[in-house]
Amino acid sequence: AQENHLESALIHSVIKAESNGDPNAISRAGDKGLMQLADSTSTDLGVANPFDPRANVFGGAKYLRTLINRFKGDLRLALAAYNAGPATVDKHGGVPPFQETHDYIDRVTTYLRETSFGESGPLK
Protein backbone atom coordinates (compact mmCIF):
# COMPACT_ATOMS: atom_id res chain seq x y z
CA ALA A 1 0.00 0.00 0.00
CA GLN A 2 2.70 2.47 0.98
CA GLU A 3 4.78 1.89 -2.14
CA ASN A 4 1.75 2.70 -4.30
CA HIS A 5 0.55 5.59 -2.12
CA LEU A 6 -2.66 3.83 -1.13
CA GLU A 7 -4.20 3.36 2.27
CA SER A 8 -4.09 -0.22 3.48
CA ALA A 9 -7.86 0.00 4.14
CA LEU A 10 -8.46 0.31 0.41
CA ILE A 11 -6.33 -2.75 -0.34
CA HIS A 12 -8.09 -4.72 2.41
CA SER A 13 -11.48 -3.66 1.06
CA VAL A 14 -10.62 -4.78 -2.48
CA ILE A 15 -9.30 -8.11 -1.16
CA LYS A 16 -12.49 -8.66 0.86
CA ALA A 17 -14.65 -7.89 -2.19
CA GLU A 18 -12.52 -9.91 -4.60
CA SER A 19 -11.61 -13.09 -2.72
CA ASN A 20 -12.85 -12.66 0.86
CA GLY A 21 -9.24 -13.20 1.89
CA ASP A 22 -8.72 -16.56 0.16
CA PRO A 23 -5.25 -16.58 -1.45
CA ASN A 24 -6.22 -19.65 -3.50
CA ALA A 25 -9.46 -18.18 -4.89
CA ILE A 26 -10.17 -18.61 -8.60
CA SER A 27 -13.10 -16.77 -10.17
CA ARG A 28 -15.37 -18.11 -12.90
CA ALA A 29 -13.38 -15.93 -15.30
CA GLY A 30 -10.10 -17.48 -14.11
CA ASP A 31 -8.85 -14.53 -12.05
CA LYS A 32 -6.59 -15.68 -9.24
CA GLY A 33 -5.52 -14.99 -5.69
CA LEU A 34 -6.35 -12.40 -3.08
CA MET A 35 -6.86 -9.51 -5.51
CA GLN A 36 -8.17 -11.73 -8.31
CA LEU A 37 -5.59 -10.93 -10.99
CA ALA A 38 -6.27 -12.01 -14.55
CA ASP A 39 -3.42 -13.95 -16.16
CA SER A 40 -2.73 -11.10 -18.58
CA THR A 41 -2.66 -8.56 -15.73
CA SER A 42 -0.32 -10.80 -13.72
CA THR A 43 2.01 -11.04 -16.71
CA ASP A 44 1.91 -7.28 -17.31
CA LEU A 45 2.71 -6.63 -13.64
CA GLY A 46 5.45 -9.25 -13.41
CA VAL A 47 3.51 -11.44 -10.96
CA ALA A 48 4.93 -14.91 -11.63
CA ASN A 49 2.70 -16.70 -9.12
CA PRO A 50 -0.70 -15.07 -8.53
CA PHE A 51 -1.30 -17.46 -5.61
CA ASP A 52 1.67 -15.98 -3.72
CA PRO A 53 -0.14 -13.54 -1.40
CA ARG A 54 2.71 -11.04 -1.27
CA ALA A 55 3.18 -10.96 -5.05
CA ASN A 56 -0.56 -10.85 -5.69
CA VAL A 57 -1.21 -7.95 -3.32
CA PHE A 58 1.83 -6.06 -4.58
CA GLY A 59 0.65 -6.51 -8.20
CA GLY A 60 -2.97 -5.73 -7.39
CA ALA A 61 -2.02 -2.56 -5.51
CA LYS A 62 0.20 -1.44 -8.37
CA TYR A 63 -2.63 -2.06 -10.84
CA LEU A 64 -5.14 -0.23 -8.65
CA ARG A 65 -2.77 2.76 -8.40
CA THR A 66 -2.44 2.76 -12.20
CA LEU A 67 -6.23 2.84 -12.55
CA ILE A 68 -6.62 5.60 -9.97
CA ASN A 69 -4.06 7.67 -11.85
CA ARG A 70 -5.69 6.92 -15.22
CA PHE A 71 -9.07 8.08 -13.94
CA LYS A 72 -7.60 11.17 -12.26
CA GLY A 73 -8.26 10.07 -8.69
CA ASP A 74 -11.89 9.05 -9.24
CA LEU A 75 -12.10 5.99 -6.99
CA ARG A 76 -15.50 4.90 -8.37
CA LEU A 77 -14.14 4.83 -11.92
CA ALA A 78 -10.94 3.08 -10.79
CA LEU A 79 -12.97 0.40 -8.99
CA ALA A 80 -15.26 0.02 -12.01
CA ALA A 81 -12.16 -0.46 -14.17
CA TYR A 82 -10.71 -2.97 -11.70
CA ASN A 83 -13.93 -4.96 -11.99
CA ALA A 84 -14.96 -4.53 -15.63
CA GLY A 85 -11.74 -3.38 -17.28
CA PRO A 86 -10.53 0.11 -18.13
CA ALA A 87 -11.55 -0.19 -21.79
CA THR A 88 -15.13 -0.91 -20.70
CA VAL A 89 -15.16 2.20 -18.50
CA ASP A 90 -13.78 4.24 -21.41
CA LYS A 91 -16.35 2.76 -23.80
CA HIS A 92 -19.24 3.72 -21.51
CA GLY A 93 -17.79 7.08 -20.54
CA GLY A 94 -18.02 6.16 -16.87
CA VAL A 95 -19.21 3.31 -14.70
CA PRO A 96 -20.65 0.72 -17.09
CA PRO A 97 -24.31 -0.23 -16.72
CA PHE A 98 -23.55 -3.69 -15.33
CA GLN A 99 -25.20 -4.68 -12.06
CA GLU A 100 -22.12 -6.70 -11.11
CA THR A 101 -19.90 -3.62 -11.43
CA HIS A 102 -22.29 -1.40 -9.46
CA ASP A 103 -22.55 -4.07 -6.75
CA TYR A 104 -18.74 -4.39 -6.67
CA ILE A 105 -18.24 -0.64 -6.20
CA ASP A 106 -20.87 -0.63 -3.45
CA ARG A 107 -19.20 -3.58 -1.67
CA VAL A 108 -15.73 -2.03 -1.73
CA THR A 109 -16.93 1.39 -0.62
CA THR A 110 -19.04 -0.16 2.15
CA TYR A 111 -16.01 -2.09 3.41
CA LEU A 112 -14.02 1.16 3.28
CA ARG A 113 -16.63 3.00 5.36
CA GLU A 114 -16.64 0.16 7.90
CA THR A 115 -12.86 0.38 8.23
CA SER A 116 -11.29 3.12 10.28
CA PHE A 117 -8.65 4.61 8.01
CA GLY A 118 -7.89 7.95 9.60
CA GLU A 119 -8.26 11.49 8.34
CA SER A 120 -6.49 11.05 5.03
CA GLY A 121 -9.22 8.88 3.49
CA PRO A 122 -8.61 5.89 1.25
CA LEU A 123 -6.06 7.69 -0.93
CA LYS A 124 -2.89 9.41 0.14
Residues belonging to the active site: 18
Q: What sign does the dihedral 39-40-41-42 (CA atoms) show?
A: positive
**What does the radius of gyration of the chain's CA atoms come to, in whole angstroms?**
13
DSSP reduced 3-state for 35: coil
d(CA 99, CA 97) in angstroms, rounded, equals: 7
d(CA 19, CA 24) in angstroms, rounded, equals: 9
> 26 - beta bridge partners?
32
